[in-house]
Amino acid sequence: LKFVCLSNDGVDEHMVWLIGLKNIFARQLPNMPKEYIVRLVMDRNHKSVMVIRRNQVVGGITYRPYVSQKFGEIAFCAITADEQVKGYGTRLMNHLKQHARDVDGLTHFLTYADNNAVGYFTKQGFTKEIHLEKDRWQGYVTNIRSILKIAKVFYSYLLEIMTRYFSFFILVSCKYIKDYDGGILMECKIDPKLPYTD
Residues that bind ligand ACO (CB under 6 A): 28-29, 74, 76-79, 84-90, 111-114, 116-117, 119-120, 123
Angle at 177 between CA 172 and CA 180, to 5 degrees: 170
From CA 162, how far away is CA 103, in angstroms rounded? 52
Instruction: Decide if 187 is catalytic.
Output: no
Q: How far is the CB of 159 from ligand ACO (least distance, A)?
A: 27
Q: How far is the CB of 115 from ligand ACO (least distance, A)?
A: 9
Q: How far is the CB of 195 from ligand ACO (least distance, A)?
A: 18
Q: Which helix (H) or strand (E) holds 111?
A: strand 108-113
Nearer to ligand ACO, 87 or 105 (CB): 87
Q: What SS3 state is found at 64?
A: strand
Nearer to ligand ACO, 113 or 132 (CB): 113
Nearer to ligand ACO, 5 or 74 (CB): 74
Nearer to ligand ACO, 26 or 162 (CB): 26
Marked catalytic residue, from 13, 35, 73, 83: 73
SS3 content of the chain, % helix, strand, coil (to 5): 45, 25, 30
Q: How far is the CB of 97 from ligand ACO (least distance, A)?
A: 14
Burial of 117 by CB count in 10 Å (0-12 exposed, 13-18 middle, 19+ buried)? Answer: buried
Angle at 47 between CA 10 and CA 111, to 5 degrees: 155
Catalytic residues: 73
